[in-house]
Amino acid sequence: MNGLLVIDKPAGMTSRDVVNRVQKWFPRKTKIGHTGTLDPLATGVLVVCIGAATRLADYVQAMGKSYASRFQLGATSTTDDADGKVTETPNATIPTREAIDAALKSFIGNVEQVPPAFSALKLDGQRAHDLARQGKEVPLAARTVRIDVIRVFDYAWPFLDVEVDCGKGTYIRSIARDLGDILGCGGLVQTLRRTRVGPFTAEQGIGLDADPASVNLLPMSAAVVGIPRAKLDAELLRRIRNGQRVVIDQNLGDTRGEFAALDEKGELVALGMTYGNKEYEFVPQIVFPEAR
């Protein structure tokens, strides 16, 4: 019961709601957690970790993501999306496509972004969205996020259809809001779908109406793609499972840094760090239980 599920989250549910539904597919007390909150309005890829794979949540959360979204220009919202109280911008000037393209260039790269007030971030120990619902001011500080590309697929006032490739912690609602500010007309997210998290795509996603008996977990190794790895012999793995440092005397190329130790079947046994030049000393940091 250790592995990953790619859920195609429906609209109208929180990420926690999804976890609660998935929990019913597994024996009681099975550890389950999601990797990156999706707003109730949003649909698409939500990677759920099962059992020991919950220890890999940070690796999945750090992966790049892709979103398809429809922005509504000429309006603002209390939540920066269509779920909030929407206010039309009076006498809004309709921006040209050229003006939109020029404005979007300022969003690319490592940029400072202020999260929406209605978010799960904490401020003095309280969730920002809880404070916002109480009518309190939510002075969230700007954070550095990475936005790789914003592709415009269609523009027919007031709707702008885009696809965004970005890094961890990027709020698409903030992009819509800030784009509207730059254009002087206001902006919000009308629809949002996460199409990719790292190697996990919406096409892989299963619905919450799936037959639990037919659900197969993806291996834990799928959560650490891009990390150098090797299949190790049984004796090395035995010592690693006991928390011991081991010397990996193999021609692995330059593997200094993070390293994934696999068994002969390709199952993830441990994550840790390697040091050295020709012979690498592997220091395990996370060791996973042996399948039984």
Half-sphere exposure of 168 (CA within 13 A, CB side): 9
Task: Specify the amino acid at residue 155.
Answer: Y
Q: How far is Cα 225 from Cα 227, in angstroms, rounded to an integer?
A: 6
Q: Comparing C-alpha atoms, which of 67, 48, 60, 52 is closest to residue 199? A: 60
Pairing of strands 268-276, 200-201: unpaired
CA gap 264, 133 in Å, rounded:
53
According to DSSP, the residues that pair with 66 across neighbouring strands are: 165, 196
Catalytic residue, from 8, 17, 39, 211: name it. Answer: 39
Cα–Cα distance between 237 and 167 in angstroms, integer?
Answer: 34
Beta carbons within 10 angstroms of residue 243's beta carbon: 11
Tell me, yes or no, if 254 is annotated catalytic: no
Who's near 108: CB < 8 A, 6+ residues apart? 147, 148, 149, 150
Residue the block writes with tokens 């007309």:
185
Q: Tell the residue number behind the tokens 């996990």, with chain if given.
A: 200
Q: 3-state class of 283 per DSSP?
A: strand
Distances (CA, A) of 55 to 108, 229, 239, 271: 32, 18, 21, 11
Q: Phi then psi for 73, rounded to 5 degrees?
A: -90, 165
Active site residues: 39
